[in-house]
């Protein structure tokens, strides 16, 4: 029984996966029985009553009330039972407990990106702690996508201009596959992500340090990624044009004049201060609108941003 | 009554015009004909061409999926190819296939009429179909379409290509479908021969009649939806795209409000053919005639309120989802009743295993699988896992192709001698039928497993773990293709012969078998007077048509 299930279905890795599989298997055995009945009768009648002589008259069978009631009512009762079974499990799976960990998911051709409660972000890889209810709050920036984790037995269309949620409690640590299941164009089949279900300690460590890849990247590359992913790019350009904030181009080593009239030569310490405490020294001609990134950027990411700005001569 | 709206080509007293319809007239007279039989034949060649075209695209899709990554084409081409496969098969082949080709040919004769109620409208339907098909071809060669046949927004309103033109083609084709539906409804109501009460009609008529009701009621909704899509794409009128203040899920509601009933526009005519072939080839009274007739009508009605089962994961309300799930299970019951009726009709029959019956038997098995796998998808919790995977692809191919298309070919083999006056090679037909059956199952059975294991549909590339099942499926598509190739061979070969079909090769008792093969232009010399039920195989035959045999 279990080996049949493992042959037909992916690994069971969430709390409600077993419920779905039980109904799946129930329907499988039930429909198999009906199929065997239909196929057997079809083939057996076709063979047994095959034409042996031309031009014979056959019996006149037009009705059999008892038989007709049986084959109407039994399937009706069975499908109504299956309806309630399926609906109950569906309803149970779609409600998130109050203590669920909320993670924001954004779909955009052809990537998934994730934002955690502490401000950490990741692309194409989602990290969650094991045995903790997860609530994904999802939206799309362009067309329809669908977030599908086969081993968790969850799937939800992701819709532009709207938040939809997806709930599951992962029970098996390790790597799981995420697909996009709603057709979205050229790289639809490449719009995948890795779901890493970690122990709580490993999850906390990941939040602290980030992906191992961060440590392998060149600092300036990492800085460019931070500039894009953390939204620096919405105010700070890299080509010298003025935005909400000063452009990064050529700013390193330049003497900046502040709103209070003082000046400073832009160096590593000034950039670091501007990220963590942006209101301290606001460049003349700009409004003090930048939020603090205290606690939202890792040390290595701040270093990356500094390296990136240094490169933008 | 029937005679007042007959073909305007009538000249001379009825009964004087003995030429068979195939040899009656030049090419121009074919293209401007109002004869339902000629229109049926013209539709037949058109849809068979479209089936060929859609089939080539299907083979290309399967070939590309033989290995992960690029096999024969790039991702953008693949997306266009699977879109064209779906759009051609749905809008240009399956929807018009049985009603417009076989229905046009057989329905008036089976009712004992000279033609449909509005012969000129029938000609108009054909040319609207031809126009729609030509627009679709233009859309294919001027940029193509990569949206999938479902045209989901906002992808369809933002992607490149000839989406507006292709949707316009579907819009135009819809009118052909509506007009054919109107024509058949009027014909069934007004042109039945004397003595043919509603319950003396062949079940094929009940099926086509139910289909016509859906065509007339549902197709306008598709027309409006596609028009809104064109407006949004071309003029930026915000209806579906959130960037313009629209709602993308609204499009899905509109689309499936038509396209779910459209599934029954496709399957009801298939069931209608099986209801004709099974009693005729079994020489047996139909078991549960009224139950089968009414279940067609019941399916037609309930089919309008199940569209939301395509949208369990779309973000529609859970209450709506629950109602749609419940109604979906209910609509399955009339189909189950039909299956049991067909099987019981075979009981104690005198069953001929010639080609039409082989297709009917294949239908019973394949529709069994298609229908039963629908139960998985109707159950909400299980559907969450299976939605938009290959399980769905396999399920609807068992229903659309394994059932409707197989029934269509069953009907084609059944009425071919009547349409063209020639018998095809029976041995070749049996070999082709068996190859089609094996090929079909080899192609689509593995896809259930692919889907339950999590393989999403419309994927150009896939993970290596899915490769084996994809390869089995692709090999199956070749066997299927071979079966159809053989079929094309013996059908075309039969057309080179002289007329050799007897009027009634199957010893059937409906009216079309009581006139010569092929029929004369006006079908009947005299208006037939129907005395017996269409499937009275328990007593000696009492013809309703005078002047033959």
Name chain A contacts of B382, Cβ cutoff 8 Å.
Answer: 20, 23-24, 27, 86
The verdict on A153 and A169 lying in the same domain is yes
Phi/psi region, residue B48 (left: phi>0; alpha: psi -120 to 50; beta: rest), is alpha
CA of B399 vs chain A CAs: smallest distance (Å)? 15
Contact A86 B459 (CB under 8 A): no
Which chain B residues have a beta carbon less than 8 Å from that of A75?
332-333, 336
Inter-chain contact B365–A39, Cβ cutoff 8 Å? yes
Q: Kindly state the average pLDDT of the residues B470-489.
A: 98
Contact: A58, B336; criterion CB under 8 Å? no
Top-confidence residue, B410 or A244: B410
**Is A56 a member of any domain?**
no
Which one is predicted more confidently, B451 or B546?
Answer: B451
For A290, phi and psi rounded to 5 degrees?
-75, 130
Check CB contact under 8 Å for B388 and A148.
yes
Q: Which residue, among B210, B203, B209, B207, has the nearest Cα to B188 in the 3D structure? A: B209
What is the predicted pLDDT for the residue at B11? 40
Nearest chain B residue to A75 by CA distance is: B333
Is A136 in the same domain as A168?
A: yes
Contacts of A71 in chain B (CB under 8 A): 336-337, 340
What is the per-residue pLDDT for B536?
93
Q: Look up the CATH number of the domain holding residue A174.
A: 2.60.40.420
- Exposed, middle or buried, B109 (CB in 10 Å: 0-12/13-18/19+)? buried
The pLDDT assigned to B238 comes to 86
State the smallest CA–CA distance between residue A57 and chain B in angstroms: 5
The answer on A205 and A106 residing in a single domain is yes
Residue A46 and residue B286: Cβ atoms within 8 Å?
Answer: no
Q: What is the DSSP letter of A290?
A: P
The residue of chain B with its CA nearest to that of A6 is B453
φ/ψ of residue A136, rounded to 5: -95, 125
Query: How does pLDDT run across A28-78, given as a tens digit for each residue?
Result: 999 999 999 999 999 999 999 999 999 899 999 999 999 999 999 999 999
Please state, as a whole number, how many other Cβ atoms lie within 10 Å of the Cβ of residue B141.
8
**pLDDT confidence of residue B398:** 97
Radius of gyration of chain A (CA): 30
With 70 as the cut, is the pLDDT of residue B74 above it? yes
Q: Which of A21, A22, A25, A62 is best to mutate for the B interface (most B CBs within 10 A)?
A: A62
Residue B515 has pLDDT above 60, yes or no: yes
**How near does any CA of chain B get to the CA of A61, in Å?**
6
CA B296 to chain centre: 15
Q: Mutate which of A4, A26, A40, A49 to disrupt the B interface (most B C-beta within 10 Å)?
A: A49
Helix (H) or strand (E) holding B481: helix B467-495
Using a pLDDT cut of 90, give the percent of chain B over it: 76
Q: Give residue-wise pLDDT tens across range B226-237.
A: 899 889 988 888
Under an 8 A CB cutoff, do A10 and B454 touch? yes
Interface contact flag, A79 B291, Cβ < 8 Å: no
Of A226 and B114, the one with more pLDDT: B114
Among the candidates A210, A231, A265, a domain finishes at A210
Domain extent for A252: 213-311
pLDDT for B14: 43
**Nearest chain A residue (CA) to B505:** A54
Domain contains A277: yes
Q: With beta carbons less than 8 A apart as the criterion, state whether A287 and A246 touch.
A: no
Q: What is the pLDDT of residue B8?
A: 40
A144 with A124, same domain: the answer is yes
Spatial distance between the Cα atoms of B67 and B471, rounded to a whole number of angstroms: 7
Find chain B residues with C-beta within 8 A of A93's C-beta: 381, 384
Q: Taking CB atoms and an 8 Å limit, are B154 and A160 in contact across chains? A: yes
Closest residue in B to A138 (Cα–Cα): B315
Whether residues A35 and B368 touch (CB distance < 8 A) is answered with yes
Looking at per-residue pLDDT, the higher value among A276 and B472 belongs to: B472
Query: Cβ contact (<8 Å) for A45 and B459?
Result: no
Contact B368 A39 (CB under 8 A): yes
Indicate yes or no: CB of A58 within 8 angstroms of CB of B460.
no
Q: What is the mean pLDDT of chain B?
A: 92
**Whether residue A193 sits in one domain with residue A235:** no
Residue pair B78/B61 in contact (Cβ under 8 Å)? The answer is yes
The Cα-based distances of B45 to B48, B97, B102, B224 in angstroms read 5, 10, 11, 30
- For chain A, the domain total comes to 3
Same domain, A192 and A233: no
The answer to whether the Cβ–Cβ distance between A8 and B452 falls below 8 Å is yes
Name the domain boundary from A160, A191, A210: A210
pLDDT above 60 (res A137): yes
Write the DSSP string, A87-153.
HHHHHHHTPPPTTPEEEEEEEETTEEEEE-TTS-EEESEEEEETTS-EEEEEEESSS-EEEEEGGGT
Over 50: is that where the pLDDT of B12 sits?
A: no
Mutate to test the interface with B, among A46, A52, A93, A191 (most CBs of B within 10 A): A46
Q: Tens digits of per-residue pLDDT, B361-397?
A: 999 999 999 999 999 999 999 999 999 999 999 999 9
**pLDDT at site A217:** 85
pLDDT digits (tens, 9 = 90+) for B393-426: 999 999 999 999 999 999 999 999 999 999 999 9
| Interchain pair B340, A71: CB under 8 A | yes
Verify whether the Cβ–Cβ distance A183 to B376 is below 8 Å: no
- pLDDT at position B487 is 98
Nearest to A143 by CA among B46, B533, B147: B147
How far apart are alpha carbons B141 and B136 in whole angstroms? 9
- Contact of A247 with A256, CB cutoff 8 Å: no
Partner-chain residue, chosen from B291, B343, B373, that has the shortest CB–CB distance to A45: B343
Are B284 and A61 a contacting pair at CB < 8 A? Answer: yes
**Minimal C-alpha gap between A311 and chain B (Å):** 37
Contact B456 A154 (CB under 8 A): no
Closest chain B residue to the Cα of A40, Cα to Cα = B365
Residue B146 parent element (H or E): none
Q: Looking at the domain assignment, is residue A55 inside a domain?
A: no
Any idea where the domains of chain B sit in the sequence? 38-514
Q: Cα distance from B230 to chain A (closest Cα, Å)? A: 17
Regarding whether A235 and A187 lie in a shared domain, the answer is no
Examine residue A236 and state whether it is found in any structural domain, yes or no.
yes
Chain A residues lying within 8 Å of B356, measured CB to CB: none
For the cut 80, the answer to whether the pLDDT of residue A263 exceeds it is: yes
pLDDT at A1: 58
Q: What is the DSSP letter of A170?
A: B
Residue B4 pLDDT grade (very low, low, confident, very high; cuts 50, 70, 90): very low
Q: Do A155 and B385 touch (CB under 8 A)?
A: yes
CB-CB: which of B76, B148, B538 is closest to A58?
A: B538
- CATH ID of B38-514, from 3.40.50.960, 1.25.10.10, 2.70.150.10, 1.20.210.10: 1.20.210.10
Chain B hits for A162, CB-CB cut-off 8 Å, are 242, 315
**Where among A174, A192, A210 does a domain terminate?**
A210
Which chain B residue shows the shortest CA-CA distance from A178? B454
Distance from CA of A261 to the nearest CA of B (A): 44
């Amino acid at each position: 029984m279990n080996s049949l299930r493992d042959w037909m279905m992916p690994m069971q890795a969430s709390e409600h996966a077993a419920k779905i599989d039980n109904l799946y298997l129930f329907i499988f055995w039930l429909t198999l029985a009906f199929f065997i009945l239909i196929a057997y009768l079809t083939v057996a009648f076709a063979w047994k009553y095959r034409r042996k002589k031309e031009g014979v008259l056959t019996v006149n069978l037009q009705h059999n009330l008892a038989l007709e009631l049986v084959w109407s009512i039994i399937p009706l009762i069975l499908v109504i039972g299956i309806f309630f079974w399926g609906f109950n499990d569906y309803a149970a799976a779609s409600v998130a407990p109050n203590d669920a960990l909320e993670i924001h998911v954004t779909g955009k051709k052809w990537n998934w990106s994730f934002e955690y409660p502490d401000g950490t972000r990741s692309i194409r890889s989602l990290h969650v702690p094991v045995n903790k209810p997860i609530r994904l709050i999802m939206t799309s920036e362009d067309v329809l996508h669908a977030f599908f984790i086969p081993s968790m037995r969850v799937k939800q269309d992701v819709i532009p201009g709207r938040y939809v949620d997806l709930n599951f409690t992962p029970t098996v640590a390790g790597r799981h596959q995420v697909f996009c299941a709603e057709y979205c164009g050229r790289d639809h089949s490449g719009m995948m992500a890795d779901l890493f279900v970690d122990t709580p300690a490993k999850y906390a460590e990941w939040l602290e340090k980030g992906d191992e890849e961060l440590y392998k990247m060149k600092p300036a590359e990492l800085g460019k990624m931070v500039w894009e992913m953390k939204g620096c790019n919405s105010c700070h350009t890299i080509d010298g044009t003025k935005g909400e904030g000063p452009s990064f181009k050529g700013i390193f080593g330049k003497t900046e004049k502040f709103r209070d009239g003082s000046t400073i030569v832009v160096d590593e310490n000034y950039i670091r201060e501007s990220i963590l405490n942006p209101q301290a020294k606001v460049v003349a001609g700009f409004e003090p609108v930048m939020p603090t990134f205290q606690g939202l950027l890792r040390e290595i990411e701040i270093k990356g941003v500094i390296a990136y700005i240094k490169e933008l001569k | 009554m029937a005679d007042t709206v007959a073909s305007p080509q009538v000249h001379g007293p009825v009964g004087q015009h003995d030429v068979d319809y195939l040899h009656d007239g030049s090419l121009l007279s074919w293209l401007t004909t109002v004869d339902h039989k000629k229109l049926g034949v013209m539709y037949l060649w058109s849809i068979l061409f479209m089936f060929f075209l859609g089939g080539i695209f299907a083979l290309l899709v399967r070939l590309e999926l033989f290995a992960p990554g690029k096999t024969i084409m790039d991702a953008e081409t693949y997306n266009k190819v699977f879109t064209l496969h779906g759009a051609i098969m749905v809008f240009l082949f399956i929807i018009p296939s049985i009603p417009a080709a076989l229905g046009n040919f057989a329905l008036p004769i089976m009712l004992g009429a000279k033609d449909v109620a509005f012969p000129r409208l029938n000609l108009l339907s054909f040319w609207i179909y031809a126009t729609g098909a030509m627009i679709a071809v233009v859309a294919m060669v001027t940029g193509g379409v990569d949206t999938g046949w479902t045209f989901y927004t906002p992808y369809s309103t933002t992607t490149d290509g000839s989406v507006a033109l292709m949707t316009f083609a579907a819009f135009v084709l819809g009118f052909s479908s509506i007009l054919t539906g109107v024509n058949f409804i009027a014909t069934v109501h007004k042109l039945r021969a004397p003595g043919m009460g509603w319950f003396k009609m062949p079940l094929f008529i009940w099926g086509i009649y139910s289909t016509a009701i859906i065509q007339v009621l549902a197709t306008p909704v598709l027309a409006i939806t596609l028009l809104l899509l064109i407006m949004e794409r071309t003029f930026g009128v915000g209806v579906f795209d959130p960037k313009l203040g629209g709602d993308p899920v609204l499009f899905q509601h509109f689309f499936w409000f038509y396209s779910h009933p459209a599934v029954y526009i496709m399957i009801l005519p298939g069931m209608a053919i099986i209801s004709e072939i099974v009693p005729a080839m079994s020489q047996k009274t139909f078991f549960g005639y009224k139950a089968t007739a009414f279940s067609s009508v019941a399916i037609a009605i309930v089919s309008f309120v199940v569209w939301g089962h395509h949208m369990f994961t779309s973000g529609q309300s859970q209450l709506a989802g629950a109602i749609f799930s419940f109604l979906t299970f209910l609509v399955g019951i009339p189909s189950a009743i039909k299956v049991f009726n067909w099987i019981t009709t075979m009981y104690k029959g005198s069953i001929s295993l010639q080609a039409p019956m082989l297709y009917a038997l294949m239908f019973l098995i394949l529709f069994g699988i298609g229908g039963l796998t629908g139960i998985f998808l109707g159950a909400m919790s299980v559907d969450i896992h299976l939605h938009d995977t290959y399980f769905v692809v396999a399920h609807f191919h068992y229903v659309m192709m394994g059932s409707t298309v197989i029934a269509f070919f069953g009907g084609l083999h059944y009425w071919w001698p009547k349409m063209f006056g020639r018998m095809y090679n029976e041995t070749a037909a049996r070999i082709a039928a068996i190859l089609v059956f094996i090929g079909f199952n080899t192609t689509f059975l593995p896809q259930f497993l692919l889907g339950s294991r999590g393989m999403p549909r419309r994927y150009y590339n896939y993970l290596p773990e899915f490769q084996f099942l994809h390869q089995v499926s692709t090999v199956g598509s070749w066997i299927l293709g071979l079966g159809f190739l053989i079929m094309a061979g013996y059908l075309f070969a039969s057309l080179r012969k002289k007329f050799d079909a007897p009027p009634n090769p199957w010893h059937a008792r409906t009216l079309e078998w009581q006139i010569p093969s092929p029929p004369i232009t006006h079908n009947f010399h005299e208006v037939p007077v129907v005395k017996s039920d269409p499937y009275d195989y328990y007593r000696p035959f009492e013809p309703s048509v005078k002047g033959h045999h």
